[in-house]
Amino acid sequence: MSALPEYKTRVLLDNEKVPLVEGVFVAAGAELPDPLPEPPVYLKAQIPGATSRAAQGLVRRCDSKEQLESGLKQLLAPGSWGQAEGVLVANSVNMKGEYYAACMLDFGNADELPHGVLLFSTEGGSGVEERAASLHKIPFSLLNLPSADDLIAKLGKVAGAQAIGKFLEGFIKTYARYKLIVLEANPIGVLEDGSLLVVDCRAEFEKQAVGKKDTELFAAAPVTKEDKTHLERLVDKVNEADPAGTGFIRENREPAPEGAWRVATNLCGGGGKMLWEMTTGARKDIYTMNESDTSGGLSAFKSYRVLRAILEMEDSQVLLLTGSGMGFQNQHYVAAAVWKAIRESPTPLPALLRFGGTDEDKGRELIEKVAPSLPVPVKTYMPHVFPNAMVDDVAAMATKQRIKVTPEPQPTGEPSFRVDVPPGDFFFFADKWDKDEAPPCVGACPNNFLFWNAEQRTVEPVEGARCIGCLMCEVVSLLEGNGELRIRLDLPEVD
Ligand code: SF4
């Protein structure tokens, strides 16, 4: 089942003449309309399947032209929510009441054919679908759709039944015409004269059910390749090869203000982004080089590759990594990715690192242990430290001139074995391990993916086990062994 964003759901409703609040859709990457709609208006980022949009700041009221312009700019750019297809700018309306309506499918049973079900309530607002007592539940045939009069009769005594019946007739027609799985309008605004219009809506559909002539109506808006920088495209390719979790960067297109510290960020999740914006939003002396998000259970292999892209941003002076302090991914693994990225990058940055979440102590300990061997200074912070303290250290840590180093050489040639997802090439160097027992990398693997073949004197993958790309084997090999196991994580080619 796929979700259809509001602006596309509106087109379907409009095709059946269901009245809608006035609005204009601004696609990501397109010119802004001239003139812009007159405030007050609501901006609604269009992201298929997004829920709790208001809580995430994806729905905003704008009372002035300035608010409208800056809100559009923010919501049209990628954020922790990813890249919106665009923004719906919807007029504000005076309503005397709110209704709720939804159509869904009932697959029926042995005694009953599949049919549609209309849910209608004279109460709108969130949570209405849970208040079963206030809902009218009206089954309807998909082959013989109910007329306005049929619906009025089924609704019984409801004030404004004529307007409601007419409205619901078009609503059900839309649902049936496009073979939707769910169609929801919440709220439906009730105007002073008793007429109704859809204020917010969404739909869900099955791709296979979309008719050929309607393909365009259901297609997602593409974000053009030309809009993206080389590093953004590189991260896109990383995601293609290793889709689990979020790995995202977007470089800031605006020039850095004179004299501001240029901070490359790796913000882990929406919480990290929110904290960073709260900390630096009003500061003119801090310029954020990029937006970023590494969260949602991504592998350390992917964290490493995103970090390598972040470290490549020209003109950056310092790297800052932080989450909200409740990171979902294991922070020891994140620290392993940071260590690897800094030691293998030809353009490493001094780093301010705040690990928070599972194994945060181990993450911090790892970085503190390896810090003396790194080509740049690094500083770690406890998870309860607010990013203000990190920002206070930016000036002392930032490099005035971009550091360029020749990083340690990567293993070359055919790997001992290869993992496809998350992608990594494993090299075992038998000449660096002269003992009979298994090298420490074998016991370090949390997924029992590695096996010591004592006869062949090599490390092999265990059939049926899975590599989660955590880097623990390489960390242990470097710190407790002789570097006998190394992982090469190539960066994708970008045209
Ligand atoms: S082999 Fe094991 S320790 Fe090494 S990266 Fe894969 S899961 Fe992690």
- Torsion angle, CA of 424/430/432/437, rounded to 10 degrees? 100
For residue 344, CA distances in Å to 36, 225, 388, 430, 462 come to: 48, 28, 29, 23, 28
Specify the ligand 1 atom closest to the Cα of 450. Answer: 1
Q: Is the CB of 423 under 6 A from ligand 1?
A: no
Q: Is the CB of 337 under 6 A from ligand 1?
A: no
Specify the ligand 1 atom closest to the Cα of 469. Answer: 5
What pLDDT is attached to residue 25? Answer: 93
* For ligand 1, atom 3: residue with the closest CA: 445
Q: Is the CB of 476 under 6 A from ligand 1?
A: no
* For ligand 1, atom 8: residue with the closest CA: 470
Q: 58-96 pLDDT, tens per residue?
A: 899 999 999 999 899 889 887 766 778 899 999 999 999
Q: Is the CB of 445 under 6 A from ligand 1?
A: yes
> Helices 161-177 and 148-155: crossing angle, nearest 10°?
120
pLDDT band at 129 (very low <50, low <70, confident <90, very high): very low
Arithmetic mean of pLDDT over the chain: 89
Taking the centre of ligand 1 as the mean of its atom positions, its distance from the CA of residue 466, in whole angstroms, is 8
What is the DSSP code string of 437-473?
A: SPPHHHHH-TT--EEEETTTTEEEEPTT-------HH
* For ligand 1, atom 4: residue with the closest CA: 473
Q: 488's torsion region: left (phi>0), alpha (psi -120 to 50) or beta?
A: beta
Domains annotated on the chain, with CATH: 22-91 (3.30.1490.20), 97-213 (3.30.470.20), 225-397 (3.40.50.261), 417-488 (3.30.70.20)
Taking the centre of ligand 1 as the mean of its atom positions, its distance from the CA of residue 494, in whole angstroms, is 27
Q: Is the CB of 470 under 6 A from ligand 1?
A: yes
Taking the centre of ligand 1 as the mean of its atom positions, its distance from the CA of residue 264, in whole angstroms, is 28
Q: 333-359 pLDDT, tens per residue?
A: 999 999 999 999 999 999 999 998 889
Probe residue for ligand 1, chosen from 417, 450, 484 as the CB with the greatest number of ligand atoms within 8 Å: 450
* For ligand 1, atom 7: residue with the closest CA: 467
Q: Is the CB of 196 under 6 A from ligand 1?
A: no
Coil, strand, or helix at residue 260? coil
pLDDT band at 226 (very low <50, low <70, confident <90, very high): low
Q: Is the CB of 378 under 6 A from ligand 1?
A: no
Task: Decide: 5 and 82 in contact? Cβ < 8 Å.
Answer: no
Taking the centre of ligand 1 as the mean of its atom positions, its distance from the CA of residue 456, in whole angstroms, is 21
In the chain, % of residues over pLDDT 90: 62
Specify the ligand 1 atom closest to the Cα of 474. Answer: 4
Probe residue for ligand 1, chosen from 299, 416, 467 as the CB with the greatest number of ligand atoms within 8 Å: 467
Who has greater pLDDT, 137 or 132? 137
pLDDT band at 12 (very low <50, low <70, confident <90, very high): very high
Largest CA distance in the chain: 88
- Other Cβ atoms within 10 Å of 257 Cβ, number: 11
Q: Is the CB of 485 under 6 A from ligand 1?
A: no
Q: 317-338 pLDDT, tens per residue?
A: 999 998 765 556 899 999 999 9
Taking the centre of ligand 1 as the mean of its atom positions, its distance from the CA of residue 446, in whole angstroms, is 7
Rounded to whole angstroms, the Cα distance separating 449 from 443 reads 10
Torsions phi, psi for 136 (to 5 deg): -90, 130
Taking the centre of ligand 1 as the mean of its atom positions, its distance from the CA of residue 244, in whole angstroms, is 16
pTM: 0.60
